[in-house]
Structure 1
Amino acid sequence: MIQAPKGTYDVLPADQPARRLLETHAQRILGAAGYSRIETPAFEATELFARGVGEATDIVQKEMYSFDDGGGRSLTLRPEGTAPVCRAYIEHGMHKLPAPVKLWYLSSFFRAENPQRGRYRQFWQVGAEVIGAAGPEADAELIVLLLELLEEMGVSGTRLRLASLGQPETRGAYRAELSEYLRAHADELAPEVRSRIELNPMRAFDSNDPGTRAVMAGAPKLIERLAPEDAEHFAGVRALLDAAGVRYEIDPTLVRGLDYYTRTLFEFTSDALGAQSGVGGGGRYDRLIEQLGGQATPGIGWAAGVERILLAAPVMPAAAELVDLLVTVAERDSRPARAVAFEIAREARRAGLAAQLELTGRSLKSALKHADRLKARYVAIVNDADTAQLRDMTGGQQHELAGGAVVAAILRGSRL
């Protein structure tokens, strides 16, 4: 038996109601705030992620699915959504639109990482981006919108972690200081942390190794070294969240695996998910558009894992699909009756009814049992090319009428 590749999964019919509900909530919440939906290609030029996400990140070094397109060009299945959205913003001249440009997406992404509960190699994210707004109001708005989406989905035990990375210049000086500190404690660090002291020292804060965590408890903190204007921006974000009654904790150890972040950084976690508790998060990327060849333009966004949200949300009972009409035939071998049944089902759908045609050759008795399972309102039993029986499955009444009159009778709501 051929099975799906490791780290992928099938979205089955029973999974669809909860996913549709998430999409509906996202459309309503983000649409009401002025965000328009965007979809980018499943694969992009590999250079987009090397330049945007950062060549030193785990995503670019270890987790991307890259391939040659047969013409000597390297393409990559998108591992995240922000860089492609920014590429589309530049390519399609969205800088000419009134600022800010507000966009949201619900798409699949791909990373070659170790599969875990709620973390797959092909996964879905809902995300939102604001491009062209530099003030703290954009940061606070996005945080509040993500919180509202999580609350609408019933995600329990949420916590908001908040930090600031300042500007790249500040971060560069801090990285040098942190690297020096880590080199002085190299013998106490986990091997993988030692190996990337020069490449990405801030990821040491992510380590679960006890020795590394003990070292990092005494490490210098970037948030204590912010430039005055960055500290003021961070204070502005916090003031807006305080005014909105949003609870948060300032976490100076918060880092994310993408190099493009500047200033505000945030993450929502859920106690319902255990150790791997991240649900969604994001931050500012004020230099990214410029790095990708556009004009200097501030931006901020977030992404939340669809599978993570659904794991942290209560199980939602699947709503029964409404079936107005099941069409069957009295005699399975009657070709004229089958042709009329086909046309009745087609006419019913064109009239806006949810109509199903009996396709498996069930006997009349079995077809009526199937109608009960579907909770169909009516069953049309086609006798021949001219007549049919229309049965009201709620009241049990049944009468004969012309095949062409079945749909009109249902639309009139006749009591049979």
Structure 2
Amino acid sequence: MDHTRSDFPDGFLFGVATSAYQIEGRQFGGAGPCHWDSFAATPGNVVRAEDGALACDHYHRWEEDLDLIAGLGAEVYRFSTSWARVLPDGVGQPNVEGLDFYDRLVDGMLARGIKPAATLYHWELPQPLADRGGWRNADMPEWFAEFTETVMRRIGDRVWSAAPINEPWCVGWLSHFDGAHAPGLRDIRATARAMHHILKSHGRSIEVMRGLGMKNLGAVCNFEWAEPASDAPEDQAAARRYDAIYNRFFLGGLFKGQYPAEVLEGLEPHLPDGWQDDFSLIGQPLDWLGVNYYTRQRIRHKDGAWPNYEPAGPLLPLTQMGWEIYPDGLRDFLIRNARDYSGDLPIYVTENGMANADTPDQPDSARIDYLNAHLHAVRQAVDAGAPVAGYFVWSLMDNYEWSLGYEKRFGLIHVDFDSLARTPKASYDALARWWRDTPA
């Protein structure tokens, strides 16, 4: 590693991240079906129709996995809870086995000196709620509030931090407009309502957690740096539109009480009645902002209906996902988000990492290079005055990568998906030496 812990501010935290459906094994512990099960079972949606029924069997191997986090020296573990595991019907009677699992997991982190950073929702909606329209349904904020209260009455007294919804752009746009994730819709009206209801649900969740006396509550958004493919005015406008939809819509709702004009051009006719009155709920005060960042997108104008843009193709080296490696985008988002939206609130890089075609006997030097470059970008942002307070690697281990199945490997730990054996990679060893030898 090119940096040492002393290169970052006092109290700067390092950690790793995962999500429930991608590692736990949904078939265990009384979890109900979720919309990702249905999406994966539909031909053509997921590579080899793979799903998260077994995943990495973290449900049974959680102690081994927490030991690996402790061995890495990570101070924070960002994990998510499964709505379908806790409330199999989405609402109503909780599943005691599911709550007990998260109880054990949080206690296990604390016993190892690891800070539990909980995310309530990472994309797995209980199927009974999906059957009722899911995020399109105006009742979603109250359903989500019930889920929040059910989980956090059990573990909220012990988690270090909590955020309601991971990557709202993926939950809203990617899943309802692009159709690439569950529920797999391509419907502008569904998209507008889902995106607005996601933010209302976030606000209700924050309200519930504040009511339980919880502190250190934040929002986790994903960001993709948008650059115009040329100096042509139409390409410049297309890139601004892409940036507004992907990066500024949710921040605008959370911090400014408004949506960007470029997004309202397309979505306003489809938003629910009275949407303008919801920003007092959406803009509940936060304690921090989470930034998930992986890549940039070069954008050009496309003739046709709104939003009138398309990718122009990459110019830089790519990860296994086909994503450009562009660390400057992380630096620039950390600076821009603080300047334009979150002000002095601490910012955590809640996800950053790369997929690479790793094997256990092959050093993943490409991942080490990627992490070095992005940590350098974080350091640049800190030097520029951005209040960056931590950096969490995605992901602890190879896992289920949604519509791409088990092919794309993001982990610091290799997982053999036949035996489920865990093997730390060279990147794990490099980070472990760094974190152990130069403590904060």
TM-score, with structure 2 as normaliser: 0.23
Q: Which has the higher strand share?
A: 1
* Bigger Cα Rg: 1
Higher relative contact order (CA 8 A, sep 6+): 2
